[in-house]
Amino acid sequence: MPSFSAGASTQKQQNYQRRRQQIREQRKSLPIASVEKRLVDEVRKNDTLIIVGETGSGKTTQLPQFLYDGGFCQDGKVIGITQPRRVAAVTVAKRVAEECNDQLGKKVGYSIRFDDSTSNATRIKYMTDGLLLREALLDPLLSKYSVIVVDEAHERTVHTDVLLGLLKKVQHSRANASKNGKALPSMGHSQNLTQKACQGTRCAPLKLIIMSASLDAKCFSDYFGGAKAVHIQGRQYPVDILYTYQPESDYLDATLVTIFQIHLEEGPGDILAFLTGQEEIESLERLINERARLLPPESSKIWTTPIYSSLPSEQQMNAFKSAPAGTRKVVLATNIAETSVTIPGIKYVIDPGMVKARAYNPVTGMESLIIIPVSKAQALQRSGRAGREGPGKCFRLFQESEFDKLVDSTVPEIKRCNLSNVVLQLKALGIDDIIGFDFMEKPSRTAILKSLEQLILLGALTDDYKLSDPVGHQMARLPLDPMYSKALIVASEFKCLEEMLIVVSMLSVESIFFSPREKLEEARAARKGFESSEGDHITLVNVYRAAAECLEKSKNANAKERTMEKALTRWCRENFINHRSLKHARDVHSQIQGHVQQMGLNLSSCGEDMSLFRRCLTAAFFLNAAMRQPDGSYRALATSQSVQVHPSSVLFRTKPDCVIFNELVRTTQNYVKNLTRIDPLWLAELAPQYYATED
Ligand code: ADP
Ligand code: MG
């Protein structure tokens, strides 16, 4: 009926107009809106500027638009904004594209590892800090950028710290190049690269903006030679802070109880709970939904929505939607929601006071993941999330006396992680003197030396610390941990790259298996179907292949893409596989496959010869070998550390004599995860540089 369709389109038009109006008003009401002109002027006047402003004041979404309007994208130049987290880059780019009334990928886009939405038309580009570091490998002067904004600098991730050092150099080189009218190879890059980067372009000086949510602008200002800092007045409503009377022994359970307490006793407003990772978020989500079923029919409903870095981006966006009427939104987030993204509607914050962090032992060279108490600065940021739109409440699930014991701010990650990746990247950028590199905060000498040693053992560096050819160059090109990059190169020699590609993709995501508490037995039985007695790596290969087979079947039945996706979702449910993680692993797989094909590596399979594949795993991960001790524990050979097999491993019960592993997790004990049984004799044979005896 023509009259009906006309009505619908008018309705649509009205909705659209209303949305535009809403966005315009919301933008105008942000604290940053009133200082637009001043900020643009400051950027014009200063090559380096530090901007400090409360979370939610509009730094990330607005500043790049101000600069665009202020003419910083003339001659096709791009404004780059780096984020420590993938989620933030994606959600913010989507939001800004909408604000600009444009499709994502045109004027505004994002680029993160394994996912790029930008085009030649992109002028405002959100990306992870790690990705910009990779771009510097190809374009050492970052010549397409007029402005680079390093956002969330207070987080001090390892990439941010390295990037700051690098940008300082790039800025210097570009200033010199534009002064002299030509490129100077002053970064230590090979001359031809530098010249190529500047060919045909005038290398205008690079504007650098460091943005931070916390108040310690001084350290950034000092590092950039006394750079100017501007503060944006935020708008913050009072937040009531509540502590527990007793210590909580199980913070997940305490979070669950608190959520329902708020839901039943407090007024309207959404809840934001901070957890440490995907696994915790997913298990809490299930517990909430189970318990929500028991709510009395007259009470309002609960809608849970998770947000963490490896969550596929369509699902991340759910957290920004408002809950349907009569429903309370409960956002389960990692520390991503501390400062990186602002979720509207939050009135209640639950802070168990814990965070998952990398930890590193520079003497043994072992990196591990541990769950530790947050810093005071983090706890303050978390509670601040409750006061964005009105007065709020923050429930800290620890005692007030514990708050005083927290450290003031988190130690920069560069001081507590394995530096192999950093060192490899810097070497590939032509920066040879790693110890002399101008880090904002220097990592320990021992840690740098240990990483150099590790890279030599992996064959990425020669004995005189130069990037080896071709292995070192190849490894630097892959967006992976050096040990994984090495594994792919070794696998191509062993003719089992297909299998290793699957393993590396599956290891790049969290928790493939999923075991709901109420269906533990069924989950266990389903997993049996994939298990290999050789260990977890081959088990992961089996899962991946079974999923691929499921997709293949529905493809052969000429199913449409959506039907195929549905078939896979069903398959995952039936087999107790985490669909989100598998989807992510498949994305990672297709991206790395692209990289290795470009590198000309040989994509072959070892077929049924799993002993060949285990030998290949040994050759790749020899630094992570462990021998069983008489008491059933294991000793990591490289570090002499005592470790236990994690209960999630298929080798938990069999406990073979010798294994290689991929991950070390510290809780009450040192646990190793993702193991494969190997023959101890293979170590000396396949990694003689490390295990051969010298007689
Ligand atoms: P800052 O970087 O200073 O913390 P942002 O620019 O990220 O602030 O956010 C400014 C405001 O924009 C937020 O308070 C929020 O209201 C809104 N906003 C940001 N991202 C989104 C989104 N994805 N969906 C809806 N609103 C958003
Ligand atoms: Mg921000």
Q: Are residues 205 and 312 in the same domain?
A: no
Say which amino acid occupies 661. Answer: F
pLDDT exceeds 90 at position 76: yes
Average pLDDT, the chain: 90
Residue with the larger pLDDT of the pair 591 and 146:
146
pLDDT exceeds 90 at position 210: yes
- Counting ligands in written order, the one closest to the CA of 95 is 1
Strands 270-274 and 327-333, sheet pairing: parallel
Nearest ligand 1 atom, CA 151: 2
83 CA to centre of ligand 1 in angstroms: 14
- Counting ligands in written order, the one closest to the CA of 30 is 1
Say which amino acid occupies 571. Answer: W
pLDDT exceeds 70 at position 195: no
Residue that finishes a domain, picked among 414, 449, 469 = 414
- Counting ligands in written order, the one closest to the CA of 58 is 1
Q: Is residue 284 a contact partner of residue 275, using CB atoms and an 8 Å limit?
A: yes
Say which amino acid occupies 324. Answer: P
Residue 34 lies in a domain: yes
Residue 307 lies in a domain: yes
- Ligand 1 binding pocket mutation candidate from 67, 342, 343, 385 (most atoms within 8 A of CB): 342
Residue 616 lies in a domain: no
Which DSSP string corresponds to 494-543?
A: HT-HHHHHHHHHHHTSS--B---GGGHHHHHHHHHTT-BTTBHHHHHHHH
59 CA to centre of ligand 2 in angstroms: 5
pLDDT exceeds 60 at position 310: yes
Q: In 10 A of CB 29, how many CB atoms?
A: 11
Q: Are residues 362 and 402 in the same domain?
A: yes
Q: Are residues 87 and 162 in the same domain?
A: yes
381 CA to centre of ligand 2 in angstroms: 12
342 CA to centre of ligand 1 in angstroms: 5
Q: Are residues 227 and 249 in the same domain?
A: no
Nearest residue (by CA) to ligand 1, atom 17, is: 342
Tokens, residue 654: 């069999």
Residue closest to 67 by CA, chosen among 89, 48, 39: 39
Residue 489 lies in a domain: no
Nearest ligand 1 atom, CA 54: 3
SS3 label, residue 475 = helix
What gap in Å lies between CA 35 and CA 664, rounded to an integer? 48
pLDDT exceeds 60 at position 234: yes
388 CA to centre of ligand 1 in angstroms: 11
- Counting ligands in written order, the one closest to the CA of 53 is 1
How far, in Å, are 413, 624, 667 from residue 359 at the CA level?
8, 17, 12
- Counting ligands in written order, the one closest to the CA of 313 is 1
Nearest residue (by CA) to ligand 1, atom 16, is: 344
320 CA to centre of ligand 2 in angstroms: 15
Ligand 1 pocket, CB under 6 A: 30, 53, 55-62, 91, 95, 320, 342, 344
What's the per-residue H, E or C state across 566-597? HHHHHHHHHHCECHHHHHHHHHHHHHHHHHHH
Q: Are residues 313 and 212 in the same domain?
A: no
Q: What's the mean pLDDT in 293-317?
A: 87
Residue 71 lies in a domain: yes
- For residue 59, the surrounding DSSP H or E stretch is helix 59-69
Nearest ligand 1 atom, CA 211: 2
Tokens, residue 634: 């294991």
543-576 confidence digits (pLDDT tens): 999 999 999 988 888 778 888 889 999 999 999 9
Among 156-170, 197-211, 581-595, which stretch is predicted with the lowest mean pLDDT?
A: 197-211
Residue closest to 73 by CA, chosen among 33, 110, 139, 121: 121
Residue given tokens 């130049």 in the structure block: 77
95 CA to centre of ligand 1 in angstroms: 8
141 CA to centre of ligand 2 in angstroms: 26
Residue 669 lies in a domain: no
Q: What is the pLDDT of residue 190?
A: 42
Q: Are residues 534 and 385 in the same domain?
A: no
Residue 271, beta-bridge partner list: 330, 348
Q: Are residues 80 and 99 in the same domain?
A: yes
Beta strands of 35-113 (E only): which ranges? Answer: 48-53, 78-83, 108-112
Q: Are residues 379 and 524 in the same domain?
A: no
Q: Are residues 282 and 145 in the same domain?
A: no
Q: Is residue 51 a contact partner of residue 209, using CB atoms and an 8 Å limit?
A: yes
Q: What's the mean pLDDT in 376-393?
A: 93
Q: Are residues 153 and 244 in the same domain?
A: no
Q: What is the pLDDT of residue 185?
A: 42
Q: What's the mean pLDDT in 51-60?
A: 92
Residue 689, Cα to own-chain centre: how many angstroms?
Answer: 33
Residue closest to 214 by CA, chosen among 320, 427, 57, 103: 57
- For residue 250, the surrounding DSSP H or E stretch is none
> pLDDT tier at 694 (50, 70, 90 boundaries)?
low
Residue with the larger pLDDT of the pair 577 and 339:
577
92 CA to centre of ligand 2 in angstroms: 9
pLDDT exceeds 60 at position 695: no
659 CA to centre of ligand 2 in angstroms: 44
Nearest residue (by CA) to ligand 1, atom 25, is: 320
pLDDT exceeds 90 at position 683: yes
Range of the domain at 14: 10-232
- Ligand 1 binding pocket mutation candidate from 30, 61, 83 (most atoms within 8 A of CB): 61
Q: In 10 A of CB 20, how many CB atoms?
A: 13
Residue that finishes a domain, picked among 414, 433, 467 = 414
2-46 confidence digits (pLDDT tens): 555 557 778 888 889 999 999 999 999 999 999 999 999 999 999
Nearest ligand 1 atom, CA 344: 16
Residue given tokens 């997709």 in the structure block: 551
Tokens, residue 45: 């006047």
Q: Are residues 205 and 152 in the same domain?
A: yes
Residue 113 lies in a domain: yes
62 CA to centre of ligand 1 in angstroms: 9
pLDDT exceeds 80 at position 308: yes
Nearest ligand 1 atom, CA 61: 6
Residue that finishes a domain, picked among 563, 596, 629 = 596
Nearest residue (by CA) to ligand 1, atom 15, is: 342
Q: What is the pLDDT of residue 6?
A: 54
| CATH number of the CATH domain containing 322 | 3.40.50.300
Nearest residue (by CA) to ligand 1, atom 5, is: 58
Domain count, the chain: 3
Tokens, residue 191: 């001359």
- Counting ligands in written order, the one closest to the CA of 153 is 2
Q: What is the pLDDT of residue 284?
A: 95
Q: Are residues 225 and 245 in the same domain?
A: no
What gap in Å lies between CA 592 and CA 480, rounded to an integer? 9
Nearest ligand 1 atom, CA 63: 6
Report CA torsion sign: 423, 424, 429, 430. positive
60 CA to centre of ligand 2 in angstroms: 4
Q: Which residues are within 8 A (CB) of 695 and not within 5 positions of it... i.e. 6 or more apart?
A: none
Q: What is the pLDDT of residue 192?
A: 41
Nearest ligand 1 atom, CA 341: 7
Nearest residue (by CA) to ligand 1, atom 12, is: 58
Residue with the larger pLDDT of the pair 577 and 175:
577
Q: What's the mean pLDDT in 242-255?
A: 94
Q: What is the pLDDT of residue 193?
A: 43
Residue 529 lies in a domain: yes
